[in-house]
Homo-oligomer: A and B are copies of this chain.
Amino acid sequence: MNAHIVTIGDEILIGQTLNTNAAYIGEQLVNIQVNVKKTSVVGDNEEAIIKEFKQCMDENDIVVVTGGLGPTHDDVTRKCVVNFFHTVLVMNNEVLEDIKARFKKSGRELTVTNQDQALVPKIAKPIRNSLGTAPGMWIEKDGKIFVVMPGVPYEMKAMMESFVIPNLKDKLGELELLEKRDTLLTTGIPESVLYEKLGNLDDLLEGAKLAFLPSQFGVKLRITVREKDEETAANRISAIEQKIRSKVGRFIYSSQDESLEQVVARLLIDRGISLAVAESCTGGLISNLLTNVSGSSKFYERGIISYSNASKVEILRVNEDTITQYGAVSIEVARQMAEGAKSTSGTDLGLAVTGIMGPTGASVDKPVGLVYIGLCDDKVCTAKKFIFGDDRIINKQRTAQTALDMLRKYLLGISLDD
């Protein structure tokens, strides 16, 4: 079964909004073995939308559309559906009741605009919206499936989970060859070095596929195999993964599409180790990532964002003379910040970063991108120097990723040296 995902909205075309919806839908469809052939974005323009509907329906079995279902005048998707399928709008009482109940609960007055959202094209089965007012639409025609959902990400996701994916699964028969994917996430090694270290890919893969996906967080390795059943596919993937691990294992932090912070959080929770974080240049990013993980209060005790020198001295007990002698961005201060985070909070570990993220703040011997990361336990305080690039936001991300990876290596007993 081939699918095409259509996103509607000028805001996506002109780059004001990232197309997270297409990414989410693509991932969900692939998980149930649908072959996503293409995604496209068109503006809030009836002619362009209807042209896109036609082309997608001609070339695919499944078309999934999001966007343009809101209550305002620039939302034209429903009108396009009516025209494209030569159908009419009818009031749907179930949907109307949903909308009325929503407004009653929040104590807001129901407007005519909102009431009109219960009008559904006759050809469509409405998909109820548990988080908003606009219903989705499920249309089957000529053996093909056409799904329309609102563009608000969490409303769309709730519809995908509760309605679209279960219904698509019902429609999909057993597939002859099962495609299975696995992704190994690496960090701290450049793409071309990784490629060379893996050696001859034909020997390694024996017909399977391997994709390299680089970003500032590291390189993802995606393995894809096609086999006759689940078990054979799982065994093939596992065999390839083992070969890759034997060559570059220490750079792989996950094979579950977990983020590095999820991996680190799991390790800390499993081992009952507590952590305090002292951040200067990352300004709270490391702590924000760690506390995105549900259950982080089990290991995360506190964080100090010691932007000023005074805060380094007052809260983290960094020696004032050390700052004067070596500067706030120095290996000595990184070590003292980590030690101070640990000792003042009474945790098992202290992690600290200090650096120059740019664009300002550099000096003759301290360039933009210079970072020191310190990590202390009860016995040892380690600190390491890094030089990243020129972009402030990317520097913050790379510093956070590298600090979390130091923590991971420490927890797994992997050497911190390259």
In the bound assembly, the distance between CA atoms of A211 and B297 in angstroms comes to 41
**Which chain B positions have C-beta within 8 A of A296?**
283, 307
Report chain B residues within 8 Å CB of A392.
292, 294
Interface-central residue, A22, A24, A52, A113, by most chain B CB under 10 Å: A22
Which of these, B38, B44, B72, B201, contacts A195 with CB under 8 Å? B72
A74 to B302, Cβ gap below 8 A?
no
Contact B38 A14 (CB under 8 A): no
Given A15-B26, A23-B18, A48-B37, A114 and B192 contact (CB-CB distance below 8 Å): yes
| Nearest CB of B to A129, in Å | 14
From A299, which residue of chain B is reached at the shortest CB distance? Answer: B307
Closest to A308 in B: B301
Provide the bound-state CA to CA distance between A350 and B170, in Å: 55
Interface residues in A283-310 by Cβ distance below 8 A to B read 283-288, 290-292, 294-297, 300-308, 310
Residues of B within 8 A of A131 (CB): 389
Give the contacting residue for A302; candidates B114, B301, B311; CB below 8 A: B311
Q: Which of A135-143, A214-222, A226-234, A373-381 binds B?
A: A214-222
Contact A13 B42 (CB under 8 A): no
Are the CB atoms of A391 and B191 closer together than 8 Å?
no
Give chain A's interface secondary structure class. mixed
Task: Knowing A70-B212, A70-B214, A210-B74, say if A288 contacts B284 (CB, 8 Å).
Answer: yes
A154 contacts across to B, CB distance below 8 A: 216, 389, 391, 394
Interface positions of A (Cβ within 8 A of B): 9-20, 22-28, 30, 36-44, 48, 52, 70-74, 108, 111, 113-114, 131, 133, 152-154, 181, 183, 191-193, 195-196, 201, 209-216, 220, 222, 257, 277, 279, 282-288, 290-292, 294-297, 300-308, 310-311, 314-315, 344-346, 358-361, 389, 391-394, 396
